[in-house]
Amino acid sequence: MKKLAGIVALAAALALTTACQDETTPRPGGTPTTAAPAAPGSAQPSDTQQPPGTTQAAGGGAPATAGNGKCVDLKSPVVTAALGKIGPSVSDAKFVAYSGTEAAVGSCPALLWVLADTEGGTASSPWHVLLFNHAGFLGTATKKWTSYTSVVGSTDRSVRVEYRWLAHSDASCCPTGGPVDVTLTLGADGHTVTPDRDFPSEVTNPK
């Protein structure tokens, strides 16, 4: 009986060790997790998780987002699945892919992006910046959607996003707040994404 109890205890310890190891994955800033870019208003990690089923790379060394000769096909299954994971816009409207990395397959950067806007919306409607590596979806630039958002530049491992906001008595067409650019950089591990500064609180926590 004592021998049997010892075997049961050993098995339980091994199971606990395996479970702990399975939960350890990379997090931005060096803390382990699969959550990608930073949370609103800070350079801290968000709770955005990499969606299951979107990390299968395309054949021929092309990114999972590739299609029609482009590194990012806005209608690819991976992009479509990512849009479905970020939740609805205001009034339950859908987010739709507006633009994305324009490079051709064969010269794809390590960090890919898609700018999503509200279906039928305007510049003042909610926008999201979705980030991808070659394997799939990493997360959104900010945890919550923002308005007056655009991608204004990129390199192999970074994406520069411009944010604007309404100030004082601005008309919705013409924000005078900002612009503030935040550069998001893919880490050496190929999964973590780190902003070079805090996101402006005027866009992440508007009053």
What's the N-to-C CA distance of the chain in angstroms?
67
Q: How far apart are CA 75 and CA 184, in angstroms?
A: 24
Q: Show the tokens assigned to 3.
A: 């021998």
Give the DSSP H or E segment for 137. Answer: strand 137-140
Q: Is the pLDDT of residue 193 over 90?
A: yes
pLDDT tens digits, 122-162: 889 999 999 999 999 999 999 999 999 999 999 999 999 99
Give the DSSP H or E segment for 152. Answer: strand 149-154
At 207, the pLDDT band (50, 70, 90 cuts) reads confident
Burial of 26 per CB tally in 10 Å (0-12, 13-18, 19+): middle
Q: Is the pLDDT of residue 40 over 90?
A: no
CA distances in angstroms from 140 to 14, 60, 110, 114, 203, listed in the order given: 36, 27, 16, 9, 15
Q: Is 26 helix (H, G, I), strand (E, B) or coil?
A: coil
pLDDT tens digits, 91-130: 999 999 999 999 999 999 999 999 999 999 988 999 999 9
pTM above 0.85, yes or no: no
The CA-CA-CA angle for residues 128, 137, 200, to 5°, reads 35
* Strand pairing report for 137-140 and 127-132: antiparallel
Distance of CA 14 to the CA centre of its chain: 35
Q: How far apart are CA 181 and CA 163, in angstroms?
A: 6
At 58, the pLDDT band (50, 70, 90 cuts) reads very low
At 77, the pLDDT band (50, 70, 90 cuts) reads very high
Within the chain, what is the greatest distance between any pair of CA atoms?
79
pLDDT tens digits, 81-95: 999 999 999 999 999
